[in-house]
Structure 1
Amino acid sequence: MTNPTTVTVLGLGPMGHALASAFLAAGHRTTVWNRTPGKADDLLARGARAAGDPAEALAASELVVACVINYAAVHAILDPVADTLRGRTLVNLSADTPRAARDTAAWAAGHGVDYLDGAIMTPVPSIGTAEAVLLLSGAEPVYRAHEGTLAALGGTATYLGTDPGRAAAYDVALLDLFWTSVAGMTHAFALAAAEDVKAGELAPFAAGIGRLLPMMVEDHAARLDAARFDGDDANIVSATSTLEHIVATAEANGLSAGVQREVLALFRRAVEAGHGQDALAKLTEHV
């Protein structure tokens, strides 16, 4: 690397550790700090520098990357030493709400700190590989200035625009899809077990159902953007009947069906509003 950047990584949980490792592998001079000691030993063996406290960590680098549990933790670390961060760039790869991202961007501006907000959309093992996916938002000149350094994290980094809350908005929407799907999968296995269907017996068919989701994502997005909701292939009233069967079977077996009842209520709102014959994408208007 002809122009290595000095980088500090705050937070050495699994993801923060992976970020620091990737910066090191790319040849950047990397300083690390973690509230709990002892997590940096392998990084130090590879050439990383351990800071004794946050102020020392910030002073070490022109680019500071934070990866902790949420933005409250970011502020707990940075607020007492904000003056040390002045004139540097903070890339916040912690997770939180779009509002928290915008508030933190305003805080950074007030302290003379360049700021990018980001979201990591792939798991820890992807960092530093072609599979990594990062989303970033904030001032474009700041993003362009550090684009090359952030490329060390691998895969694709997509710049989403100047609104610092935009990356977090993508993050919460995408994780809404993911975790709600995980909840549905979990309930499905419980429902199957209650009817004496083993998990291994259900799994091949569950995987097949799961493969329908990417097609539905594309179809929903196209319909929503075009405001086209003809229900020729599948409609809301038909799906409502299926949900009623799911709730009835779950409750007959003594299972909780709170989430499924909420989904059923959504479908019924759409039917009652006169959209029973519309495509499932129309449900978005009734959330």
Structure 2
Amino acid sequence: MTTGSPQQARDNEAWARTHNAEYLDGAIAASPTQIGNPAATIFTSGSLTAFQQSEPFLKYLAGNSPYLGEQVSAASSTELAFLSYLFGSYIGFFHAARILESDGLRVDAFGSMISHVSQVVGDVIKYESEVIQSETYDNPQSSVNMCMTTVDLLMEQAREAGINKEFPMFAHGLFKKALNAGYGHEELGALIKVLR
């Protein structure tokens, strides 16, 4: 149970098999203080036998310990996907903090507000995940064109306030590629086509 790459999980499983051992890969998606909490998460994948033997102990460590199947790399890929989302959120939040600081507003009050709207944000992410999985980018709720307006405003605010603009510049670059590729009238999830 450690953060690792999908290939490391495959290598570990291969090593375990050479020693006639069952291998279960685990990835902890919780901070140390959250371990033991019913909401703490440990992703697992690999040997079903090993999971079934370990499940009571795993549930003691983390109430949410989903088994993601026998594809041993699934836990590490899922954790890295989770961390990508988390770190992207961190960077967006830190830029948000600079926006607030530049206007003399409280960062902690904004953090509390984000905590209260987290379910709404989660619903939006769930919607975009379904758009990407089904490749249905037409009839957008939020088009790339519409969201580009916000990215332009982030760039303008950073310039006006004289704050670091690396985050909006990164976003602007991706959006510009999407527009140049003709995805402007598609759902925001169409940005994944640029990343592909």
Q: So what's the TM-score if we normalise by structure 2? A: 0.87
* 1:236–1:280 Cα contact (<8 Å) kept: yes
SS state of the match for residue 76, structure 2? helix
Give 3-state SS (helix, strand or coil) of 1:274's partner.
Answer: coil
Amino acid at match of 2:97: F
Q: Which moved more, 1:93-102 or 1:144-153?
A: 144-153
Q: Is the 8 A contact 1:105 1:164 kept in 2?
A: yes
Q: Map Cα deviations across residues 130-168 of structure 1 (whole Å, 9 max, x no partner).
A: 222221111222222333343332413211111211100
Whole-Å separation in 2 of the counterparts to 1:136 and 1:208? 29
CA distance in 2, matches of 1:237, 1:245: 13
Partner in structure 1 of residue 84 of structure 2: 176
Aligned residue number for residue 132 of structure 2: 224
Report what 1:284 is aligned to: 192
Output the CA distance in 1 between the equivalents of 2:109 and 2:55.
47
The answer (yes or no) to whether the contact 1:105–1:115 under 8 Å persists in 2 is yes
Matched length: 195
* 1:264 partner amino acid: H
Which structure has greater helix proportion?
Answer: 2
Higher RCO (CA 8 Å, separation ≥ 6 residues): 2
**Amino acid corresponding to residue 95 of structure 2 in structure 1:** H
Tell me if the contact between 1:231 and 1:280 (Cα under 8 Å) persists in the aligned partners. Answer: no
Match of 1:132 among 22, 40, 45: 40
Aligned-residue identity in percent: 23
Q: Counting strand residues as a fraction of each chain, which structure ranks higher?
A: 1
Q: Contact 2:140 / 2:188 at 8 angstroms: preserved in 1?
A: no
Comparing 249-258 and 173-182, the one that deviates more: 249-258
Which deviates more, 133-142 or 194-203? 194-203
2:22, 2:49 within 8 Å by CA — same for their partners in 1?
A: no
> What amino acid sits opposite 1:100 in the alignment?
Q
In the alignment, is residue 152 of structure 1 matched against residue 60 of structure 2? yes
The offset of 1:201, in angstroms, is 5.8
Mapped partners of 1:201, 1:162: distance in 2 = 44
TM-score by length of 1: 0.61
Alignment correspondent of 2:10: 102
CA RMSD of aligned residues (A): 2.2
